Each structure stands twice: as C-alpha cells, then as structure tokens.
Amino acid sequence: MSTLQVGITTKLVLLVDDEAHVREVVEACLKDLGGWNVQSVASGHEGLDKLAVVQPDAIILDISMPGMDGFMFLRQLRANPLTQSIPVVLLTARARWFTLQQLQPFGVVGAIAKPFNPVSLTKEIAKALGWRLEKQN
C-alpha cells in the first residue's frame, strides 16, 4: 500500500495485460473511479519482475498473452512465498470458460469478461476483492 496523506492508505494494483489500450482504459478506471494506485506491465515476465520490487494489494491479470500466459504467471506467483497470497482478478476474453470454483486453487477471486464495461469495471473488481471504493462516485 502507498500513502497519499498521513493516515490515508491507497490500494496498489498490478495490472498485467499485453494490450496497451486495455491497460490504458483499466488504469484510468481504477485510478479515477476507485482511487487506487495502478502499475501496469505488458507481459507475465514483466509482472514477475515488477513483483520483485513492489508488493501490490491485488493483481488484475489477462490469461491470453504471448510468451508467458496468465496460468504460467499464476503458477510462479503461487510458488513464491512472498507473492502467494496476493489476490488475483482475471480480466480476460476467456472468463466464461471457467467457474470461480475451478480458479480458486490459483488464488483467483474473480473473473471479468472482455469486453468489459468501463463504468462498472471498478465496482466489479472491488466486489471480487472485498474492497470499498476510495472515491465515491
């Protein structure tokens, strides 16, 4: 978590998605509507590198990415004692292929289908994570 003002902490979210326009929209939604800090990376490898220097409160993860897909990323995330408890919300075109029960062993707490509604995205993520929104819209 990072501190904006004395006594006020803001959630830090790591966004892992290979599509630049998706990262841009999601980052804007989470910052503007959620009041959260967001760090974005374009691949699973970059995500693991980022986790070596930051400890996010949650990860928003795409499944279909070149090189290291989301499931490979999840396996490595869960294998590391420092990152194994970070909750993950999938943001993927394949969301409808899985049930949350199937994804729970991977530490996935929610799955949001692409294309997504930018207006409701932050609320859906907050609900999956059990967070309250920092900003009230």
Question: 27 lies in a domain?
Answer: yes
Domain of residue 87, CATH code? 3.40.50.2300
Q: How many domains does the chain have?
A: 1
For each of the chain's 137 residues, which pLDDT tens digit applies? Answer: 544 444 457 899 999 999 999 999 999 999 999 999 999 999 999 999 999 999 999 999 999 999 999 999 999 999 999 999 999 999 988 766 666 677 777 778 988 988 999 989 999 999 999 998 766 55
> Among 77, 95, 101, which residue's Cα sits nearest to residue 87?
77
The pLDDT of residue 135: 63
Q: Using a cut of 0.75, tell me whether the model's pTM lies above it.
A: yes
The pLDDT of residue 5: 45
Domain hosting 24: range is: 2-129
Question: 105 lies in a domain?
Answer: yes
The pLDDT of residue 103: 76
Question: 28 lies in a domain?
Answer: yes
Reported for 29-34, long-range contacts at CB under 8 A and 24+ positions apart, including other chains, are 29/118, 29/121, 29/122, 30/60, 30/121, 30/122, 30/125, 32/135, 33/121, 33/122, 33/123, 33/133, 33/135, 33/137, 34/122, 34/125, 34/126, 34/133, 34/134, 34/135
